[in-house]
Amino acid sequence: MSRTTPPRPFDVTTLFPQLAPMARTATRLHPRSGSPSRHDSSVGGPLLWPADEPWPHCDGPHVWDQVNAALSPEDVRWQRHLQAAVASRPRSVPHVSRYTPEEQVINERINAGRPWPEGPIAMLPVAQLYVRDIPLLRPPGQTEADLLQVLWCPFDHPSHPRTALFWRSAAVVTDVLDTPPEPPAVQFPGYVPEPCLLAPEEVTEYPNFLELSKELQQQLGDWSRWQAAGAAVDSSYAVAPEEFYMDKLSIAPGWKVGGWTRWGLTDPMPRICPACGTEMDPLLTIATTEWNAATEDWAPDGDQARAALPPGTPPANYTLIDLARGYDLQLHVCPASPDHPHVELIQ
């Protein structure tokens, strides 16, 4: 299913032409719950993984926080299934119990928890992206690679999951690993992605306000300069027009490839390759939510009523991933070599 981001209120470069050379194309992924195969681009779906290649494991440490019970990925999936089943039942009928007897047995087993894992644990698939679906996705120096696979360890290292990236050519994978290993436990249910199909869409982005020159920041903060756009500008932003730029004109929310880096927890800082010192490029944004109250203007046409966010905690959280209490994990790569380590950034 295709999804289309509504047009921006107006072309911001007509008011601020200095932004024009800063435009970047990003690919919004629009993950939605589905049943992807290993031949699909997906979030949380099966990977086209060679049978003769070792599955990646994380050596740890995996330290128990003394609070959260250890659940296996299968426990998390059953937990979600039970929650959906309960939510679908009428609540006004007195004799309808919360769980069926079979579900109660499953729920009691889940609540019992699992032993905290020791030693290396198998990583979980997070995303599989084919270049045919996302043409901008090209690793430097690897013209034959047409597939990116992202996995993570579902434990904090120290404040978010540790990720691993693999580029490969799909055509050479002829013998596929049918049943990859899974970790015996995860730290949080929000580290188990819900399987989702993607509907990639290219959009234009501009830098975060804090990455602009001081002169341009002053211009964007001058309400009088926005008046030429007339009714296209929301007058409720008159006291802080730079927020209008940030919410509606600059950086798309949700899962995306490329584009500009999001900032929020910290001011912008250089992302420098630890191997060669080159400025790194945004590769993939792994998002908790697809949009929020400030950015619901970016919600795809027909995807939801503009008056309310989709249900959930947090809302608009189709992948059921929850990172750092609602933030995003952004992966940056070195443009000089795909062999150089990537950098992780929570914002």
**Across residues 5-13, what is the average pLDDT?**
96
Confidence tier at 95 by pLDDT (50, 70, 90): low
Structure tokens at 280: 């790194």
> How far is the C-alpha of 183 from the C-alpha of 196, rounded, in Å?
20
pLDDT tens by residue, 124-167: 999 999 999 999 998 877 778 999 999 999 999 999 999 999 99
Of the listed ranges 66-75, 176-185, 232-241, the one predicted with least confidence? 66-75
C-beta atoms surrounding 45 within 10 Å:
24
Q: Is 193 left (phi over 0), alpha (psi -120 to 50) or beta?
A: beta
**Cβ 152 vs Cβ 162: under 8 Å:** yes
Alpha-carbon torsion (33, 3, 307, 288), positive or negative: positive
What does pLDDT average to over the chain? 92
* Dihedral in degrees, nearest 10, Cα atoms 62, 68, 72, 77: -140
Helical H segments across the chain, by residue range: 73-87, 101-111, 214-220, 223-226, 241-244
Q: What is the pLDDT of residue 186?
A: 95
pLDDT tens by residue, 322-339: 998 889 999 999 999 989
pLDDT tens by residue, 102-120: 999 999 999 888 888 889 9
pLDDT tens by residue, 219-266: 999 999 999 999 999 999 999 999 999 999 999 999 999 999 999 889
- Cis status of the peptide bond prior to 21, with omega within 30 of 0: no
Contacts made by residues 299-308, CB under 8 angstroms, sequence distance 24+:
299/6, 300/3, 300/4, 300/5, 300/6, 300/30, 300/201, 301/3, 301/4, 301/5, 301/6, 302/3, 303/3
Which residues fall within 8 angstroms of residue 230, CB to CB, at 6 or more apart? none
